[in-house]
């Protein structure tokens, strides 16, 4: 398969699983994958399509040179702004997943909150999270795209958007979805632990850094996880590859 065909199939699988895991929100939120080295071309979900109904052929191919109202191409305006700026200007943003997942978003709504190194899953994100503390409404203006790019300029690959949601960027769809999955699992644990009112036992920085390194070097963990998810879809919802 071509690079674009692979991207379409894997991205459609990511959408289907995001719906199954309750990571979606109505027909909002967007996933995209660059299919050109310069990020000028990428595939993204069509405006108005529910995550549970996304298919490989139903994704929209975007060329950032296109002019006019993005809706005429079937692309949501906020996806046009954020995803086009990130794919073009952040080298490690080949795949971009943006959601309003409930537990991660809940933490993003806490004043000055920083993700706690509370468990092994959380430690996978040690030193990798950037924070946008200033919610400024929907990303409809180019200046908002430029601002978000600046927050990921130092190599961070997770962005907590205050009062909004989260962005995850990675080189591949498998890597990005694996990060999204474990980020929400760790956030869920933090919300539960915080709700007890008991003192938290935080993992120290040295140990969290070690665990993060181990996570990132663990052989093919993300690829095996995503392959297993696609295998399930092949049996239960094979129409995603249409």
pLDDT digits 0-9 by tens, 190-228: 999 999 999 999 999 999 999 999 999 999 999 999 999
Identify which has the larger pLDDT, 143 or 231: 231
Q: How far apart are CA 72 and CA 68, in angstroms?
A: 8
CB 70 within 8 A of CB 77: yes
pLDDT at 142 over 80: no
Please name the residue that has the structure tokens 């070690």. Answer: 210
Predicted local confidence at residue 141, as pLDDT: 73
What pLDDT is recorded for position 163? 95
**Cα dihedral 186→213→34→48 (10° resolution):** 0
The total number of residues written for the chain in this structure: 242
Extended strands (E) in 68-210: 95-99, 129-132, 158-161, 165-170
Share of residues in the chain with pLDDT > 90 (%): 83
Q: What is residue 140's predicted lDDT score, i.e. its pLDDT?
A: 65
């Amino acid at each position: 398969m071509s690079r674009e065909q692979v991207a379409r199939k894997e991205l459609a699988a990511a959408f289907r699983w995001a719906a199954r895991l309750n990571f979606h929100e109505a027909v909002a939120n967007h996933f995209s994958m660059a299919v050109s080295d310069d990020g000028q071309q990428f595939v993204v979900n069509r405006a108005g399509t529910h995550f549970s109904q996304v298919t490989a052929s139903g994704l929209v191919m975007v060329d950032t040179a296109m002019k006019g109202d993005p809706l005429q191409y079937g692309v949501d305006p906020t996806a046009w702004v954020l995803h086009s700026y990130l794919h073009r200007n952040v080298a490690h943003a080949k795949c971009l997943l943006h959601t309003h997942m409930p537990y991660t978003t809940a933490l993003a709504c806490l004043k000055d909150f920083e993700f706690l190194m509370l468990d092994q899953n959380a430690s996978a994100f040690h030193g990798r999270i950037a924070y946008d503390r200033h919610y400024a409404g929907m990303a409809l203006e180019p200046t908002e795209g430029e601002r978000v790019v600046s927050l990921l300029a130092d190599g961070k690959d997770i962005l907590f958007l205050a009062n909004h949601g989260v962005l995850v960027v990675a080189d591949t769809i498998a890597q990005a979805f694996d990060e999204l999955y474990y980020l929400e699992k760790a956030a869920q644990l933090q919300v539960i632990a915080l709700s007890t009112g008991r003192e938290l036992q935080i993992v120290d920085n040295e140990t969290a850094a070690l665990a993060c390194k181990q996570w990132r070097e663990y052989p093919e963990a993300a690829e095996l996880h995503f392959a297993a998810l696609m295998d399930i879809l092949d049996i239960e919802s094979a129409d995603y590859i249409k």
